[in-house]
Amino acid sequence: MSQYHADYTNFQVSISREQALKQLIESYEALCDGQNNWVSNLSNLSSLLWHCYKSLQLNINWAGFYVLDNNTTNKNEQQLILGPFQGKVACQLIPFGKGVCGTCASTLKTQVVKNVHEFPGHIACDGKTKSEIVVPIINQVANKCIGVIDIDCLDYDGFSQEIDGKYLEILARKIVETCKF
C-alpha cells in the first residue's frame, strides 16, 4: 500500500510499456480492494491510465470508459454512454455498431486503430486524435459487452495489440471481477 493515494499515479520514467501496464493493473487491484462501485473504481482507473501513458511519453489525448446504457428506451438498439474519463469533454451516446467504440461493443473484439481517418464511421470527439485503442469489457456469463476502455493518441500508430491490447484485456477482466454495474 502506498503512503498516499496519489502515489499510485507515479510511474517510473524508464520502465517499459509492459512493466508500466503491469504496475497499473497492480495499482488498480490495490485501489479497488473492498470497493465495487463502478463509478468510483473506473474514475481512479481513468487517472491511472492517463498517468501511465503520460509517463511512457505517449501523446495521450483521452483515456476513459463508455458503459452500457441501461436507460435506453428502445431495448433493441443498444448504446454506450459516457463514463469516467480523463481529458477533454466527449460525445455521450454511441450506438452499438457505430464508430470504434460501438464496433468494439458489437463485435466484442479489441479495436487497434492506427489511423482513425481510415476507420469507417469513426466518431471524432476531438479532431486532433490520430489513433485509438478500444477494449471490450465483457460479461462472460451473458457473453455481453457491458462497457469499453477507450484510449486516444495524438500520434498515428499509438497502440499495439501485442502489448496494449494484451494488458488492457487483462484489465477489462479485472474490471468485471471488481465492479458492480
By beta-carbon proximity to ligand SME, the closer residue of 102 and 147 is 102
The β-bridge relationship of strands 144-153 and 79-87 is unpaired
83 interacts with ligand SME by CB under 6 A: no
147 interacts with ligand SME by CB under 6 A: no
Residue 6, phi then psi, degrees to nearest 5: -60, -20
By beta-carbon proximity to ligand SME, the closer residue of 40 and 106 is 106
Q: Which of 20, 42, 48, 150 is close enough to bind ligand SME by CB under 6 A?
A: 150
Site string for ligand SME, 23-62 (x = CB under 6 A): ---------------------------------------x
Q: What is the 3-state secondary structure (H, E, C) of the chain?
A: CCCCHHHHHCCCCCCCHHHHHHHHHHHHHHHCCCCCEHHHHHHHHHHHHHHHHHHCCCCEEEEEEEEECCCCCCCCCCEEEEEEEEECCCCCEEECCCHHHHHHHHHCCCEEECCHHHCCCCCCCCCCCCEEEEEEEEECCCCEEEEEEEEEECCCCCCCHHHHHHHHHHHHHHHHHHCEC
105 interacts with ligand SME by CB under 6 A: no
153 interacts with ligand SME by CB under 6 A: no
All three cell numbers of 22: 503491469
130 interacts with ligand SME by CB under 6 A: no
Residue with cell 498516499: 4
CB of residue 32 to ligand SME, shortest distance in Å = 23
By beta-carbon proximity to ligand SME, the closer residue of 101 and 179 is 101
Q: Which of 122, 133, 146, 147 is close enough to bind ligand SME by CB under 6 A?
A: 122
- What residue is closest to ligand SME based on CB? 99
Q: Which residues bind ligand SME (CB under 6 A)?
A: 62, 90-91, 94, 99-102, 122-123, 125, 129, 132, 150, 152
